[in-house]
Amino acid sequence: MRAWLMDDYTGVENLRLGEVRGPQPGPEQVLLRVKFAALNPADAFLARKMYPANPSLPHILGRDGVGEIVTVGPGAGNVGVGDTVGILRCEVGVKQWGTLAEKVVVPAKSVMRIPTGWSDEEMAGAPLVFLTAWQALTQWADPPAPSSAKTVLLVTGASGGVGVASVLLGKSMNLTVVALSRSAKKRAKLQKLGADFVFDPMDRNLVKSVTAALSPRKVDLAVDNVGGALLPQVVALLGYGGRVSVVGRSGGTVPEFNTSTLFFRRIRIGGVSVGDFTAQEAHVAWEQIVGRLDAMGQRPQVDTIVPFEEVKAGFDRLAQGPMGKVLVKIGG
């Protein structure tokens, strides 16, 4: 089969489109003919050894995707040949060969039928980012307040995969959503998706502007996809008992941070790890996600679809900052 092969840990720019022997499913696994794969920043991190996984080489990246089941391994009874399914986050593309290939083997317990009315493209990029956003919003044992429009959610990197998912799920919980994006065009799109307030994170008066718009309310929960210089500003915007779900690091390391900013308002910061979902937990969360999107008449957002041969252009688009997901079209 044709696949994008990772021969070393020097980055996605050095992936190579080559031929390898197609994988065969073992017990409780299925073989998919991949129709669409989706790209995630973690693919690029893994390809630079900046991710806690060291798959043997050559490796094939790609954690998300949609495909048609062509072979069912022994004991994989929940699905059948000919079904088109998506992949819920598992070790595919991390420790096992991923979806940037014509075929991929997936644990049968980690595939999911396409929700009614969704396109293959909408499904292909949704599971990983929506599951991440779900954990970021629900990981606190004591949620900030009964979900209501009085509860304020701040989302950084709101135009990205996890960002859009956080905005949509936040609205499904009836929260007031403040979304940050560096692009005016994307801020307008985020408002269309339901964000109540949008701001440019590069605004030197960001804290003042958000505070004035929300007054007298403060941010109760922040989903931070960016980190870097933005994190201290996110903390400054929190009210008493506010918390930050730390998802990503697109903005690099935090340059200066005084822990005293955490004491007096009893701020809590907690990491998010989508890899912590068991297959069963992922299915339960996924049902909630689909139900909430359907109830709002919303769908996962697709930014760009690149042909299989143009995976590197897809990673370039991802690095620029998409509005939703970047997909790769592989099969028909």
Ligand X SMILES: NC(=O)c1ccc[n+]([C@@H]2O[C@H](COP(=O)([O-])OP(=O)(O)OC[C@H]3O[C@@H](n4cnc5c(N)ncnc54)[C@H](OP(=O)(O)O)[C@@H]3O)[C@@H](O)[C@H]2O)c1
Residue closest to ligand X, measured at CB: 160
Please tell me whether residue 157 binds ligand X under the rule CB under 6 A.
yes
Among 251, 308, 327, 330, binds ligand X (CB under 6 A): 251
Please tell me whether residue 201 binds ligand X under the rule CB under 6 A.
yes
Among 107, 322, 327, 330, binds ligand X (CB under 6 A): 322
* CA gap 280, 111 in Å, rounded: 11
**Residue 273 CB, nearest distance to ligand X (Å)?**
5
**Residue 46 CB, nearest distance to ligand X (Å)?**
10
Please tell me whether residue 318 binds ligand X under the rule CB under 6 A.
yes
Question: Binding segment for ligand X among 19-27, 138-146, 161-169, 287-295 (CB under 6 A)?
Answer: 161-169
Please tell me whether residue 163 binds ligand X under the rule CB under 6 A.
yes
Specify the pairing of strand 325-329 against strand 302-307: parallel
Please tell me whether residue 182 binds ligand X under the rule CB under 6 A.
yes
**Residue 217 CB, nearest distance to ligand X (Å)?**
24
DSSP code string of 116-171 = TT--HHHHHTHHHHHHHHHHHHH--SS-SSSSSTTSEEEESSTTSHHHHHHHHHHH
**Residue 40 CB, nearest distance to ligand X (Å)?**
5
Which residues are CB-contacts of 221 (< 8 A; sequence separation ≥ 6)? 137, 140, 144, 151, 152, 153, 154, 175, 242, 243, 244, 245
Residue ranges of alpha helices (H) inside the chain are: 41-46, 120-124, 126-138, 161-172, 184-193, 206-214, 230-236, 260-263, 279-296, 311-320
CB 29 within 8 A of CB 106: yes
- Per-residue contact flags (x/-) with ligand X for residues 29 to 58, judged by CB under 6 A: -----------xxx--x-------------
Angle ∠(171,295,323) on CA atoms, nearest 5: 50
The two structure tokens encoding residue 237: 């915007």
**Residue 42 CB, nearest distance to ligand X (Å)?**
5
Please tell me whether residue 183 binds ligand X under the rule CB under 6 A.
yes
Biggest CA pair distance of the chain: 62
Within a 13 Å sphere around the CA of 8, how many CA atoms are in the beta-carbon half?
Answer: 3
* CA gap 111, 99 in Å, rounded: 13
Question: Binding segment for ligand X among 3-11, 26-34, 182-190, 290-298 (CB under 6 A)?
Answer: 182-190
Question: Binding segment for ligand X among 15-23, 77-85, 95-103, 175-183 (CB under 6 A)?
Answer: 175-183
- Per-residue contact flags (x/-) with ligand X for residues 210 to 249, judged by CB under 6 A: ---------------xx--------------------xxx
Interface positions with ligand X (CB under 6 A): 40-42, 45, 129, 132, 157, 159-163, 181-183, 186, 201, 225-226, 247-251, 272-274, 318, 321-322
